[in-house]
Structures are given as C-alpha cells and as structure tokens.
Amino acid sequence: TCCSVLRLGDKLLQTSLINSHLSCYNVTSCVAEMLAPPGQVKFESIDYKNSLHWAAPTNSSCLQYYVQYKIYGELDWLNASNCQGIHRHHCNLSGATSDVREWYYARVRASCVATSSKSAWAMSRRFSPRWDTKISPPTVKLNLSKQGVVVQVKASRVLMRKVHNGVDNNIYVEVYEVASGSRLTLTELKPRTRYCVQAQTVVPRHMKSSDRSTAECITTD
C-alpha cells in the first residue's frame, strides 16, 4: 500500500495519522490521497455550449471541486477560473473551449477541507466542440395568410451567434422534405385540411444537424 512509504520508527507521524483517521499518507509529497476521485467526468455540449459534468465520489457535504482544462497537444493544465472550490457538480467551460476546431481535455478533483483530504484528478475523454456538440432543433411558427400557410423557422440564437448565421433548416411537411431555408409559404393547399410542419437545423460547415423539431400543425380555411 502507499502507507509503506512511512519510515519505521516515525512515531510522531504515525500517531497523527491515526488521530486524523487518514488511512494513507504519502510522506514524500505530504499529500493525503484518501478521497475517491469524482466519477463519470464528461463533457456535455449543445449548440457549442460546453460544460463538464461529474458525479460526487461520496455523499459527504464537505466536498469542493477544482476544475482544470487543456488544449490537446499542450503540456500545461489551466485552472477553470470560475470552477475553483465549487460545490456544484458541473462547470461551464464554454469560454475556455470556445475554439470549435480544437480538441480539449478537462479534469476535476474533489477536496474536503474538514478532513484536509484531496482526491486524485479524474479526467474526461478528449472533447471536440465541433464533432461532439448536439444541435438543438429549431422552432417552427405557422401562420395562415391569403397566399397560403407561412412557415417560419428559427434556429437557436446561441447557435446562430456561434456559427455566424452559417445554418440552414430543412422543412418537412408531413413526412416529405419540401424546402430549405428559414421561411416558406405553402401554396395550393387543400381547404379544411390539417397540415403539420417540422424542421431541422443543419450546419453544413460542420456536417451536423439537429433532430427534427416537434410538429406544428394548422388547419386551412
């Protein structure tokens, strides 16, 4: 065990270890490593909003978390400045991981001041904003006009800002794809008929698309 680094006859140290209930102590680094690391460390990303999530290693209420990140290929870990000594189990890394072309790692460790213990770092898998993000479905609005049913599709504002309006939407009426774009008028419709429309946002530059939105329906006069 790591306790074997204790030198024989180091009575003072052994006594203090027993008193503080530390099961393991690295004399060389003077760091107690008794806390289990956080579990299930993973990035979640929607519309290029990236956050790190993890599970608490114990049910102890004293836990605080420290998050670091780095760009793949770089040596140094950087502190996520807004996620040092936090109690919540997630960290907004959108700012730190804003370059969609890069790959990133993040890691988190737990500490408990009351028992002066720290866990090892728990690392995420490699994360790519570009490949790993999920695009959210657009909102669809329908309006009856003289010309027909006006379909208006809007992708999420956060997404539009991130990809500088480089999005397209596929518009589906019933099960057929009828158009692309953000506005469309459906003409030559049958009267007193219910039409349902769904749409899907596409980011051609990143070869990504959202799920289809929920269907919006309208009945013609």
Ligand X SMILES: *[C@@H]1O[C@H](CO)[C@@H](O)[C@H](O)[C@H]1NC(C)=O
Give 146's contacts (C-beta < 8 A, 6+ positions apart): none
Which residues sit at the interface with ligand X, rule CB under 6 A?
Answer: 2, 5, 26, 28-29, 58-59, 78-79, 84, 92, 94-95, 141, 143, 150, 152
Which CB atom, from 20 or from 84, has the smaller least distance to ligand X?
84
Which CB atom, from 36 or from 204, has the smaller least distance to ligand X?
36
Taking the complex as a whole, the smallest distance from the CB of residue 23 to ligand X amounts, in Å, to 13
Tokens of 158: 């956060």
Taking the complex as a whole, the smallest distance from the CB of residue 175 to ligand X amounts, in Å, to 23
How far is Cα 104 from Cα 220, in angstroms, rounded to an integer?
51
Q: What is the DSSP string of 124-167?
A: PPPB-HHHH-BPPPPEEEEEE-SSSEEEEEE--HHHHHHTTT--
Which CB atom, from 57 or from 209, has the smaller least distance to ligand X?
57
Give 164's contacts (C-beta < 8 A, 6+ positions apart): none
Taking the complex as a whole, the smallest distance from the CB of residue 207 to ligand X amounts, in Å, to 25
Tokens of 41: 């460390």
Tokens of 16: 């203090």
Tokens of 204: 């051609």
Taking the complex as a whole, the smallest distance from the CB of residue 152 to ligand X amounts, in Å, to 5
Q: What do you get for the CA distance between the two ends of the chain, in Å?
A: 79
Question: Parallel, antiparallel, or unpaired for β 122-123 and 168-173?
Answer: unpaired
Which CB atom, from 143 or from 165, has the smaller least distance to ligand X?
143
Taking the complex as a whole, the smallest distance from the CB of residue 103 to ligand X amounts, in Å, to 19
Which CB atom, from 95 or from 181, has the smaller least distance to ligand X?
95
With CB atoms as reference, the residue minimizing the distance to ligand X is 95
Which CB atom, from 183 or from 205, has the smaller least distance to ligand X?
183
How far is Cα 1 from Cα 31, in angstroms, rounded to an integer?
15
Taking the complex as a whole, the smallest distance from the CB of residue 10 to ligand X amounts, in Å, to 15
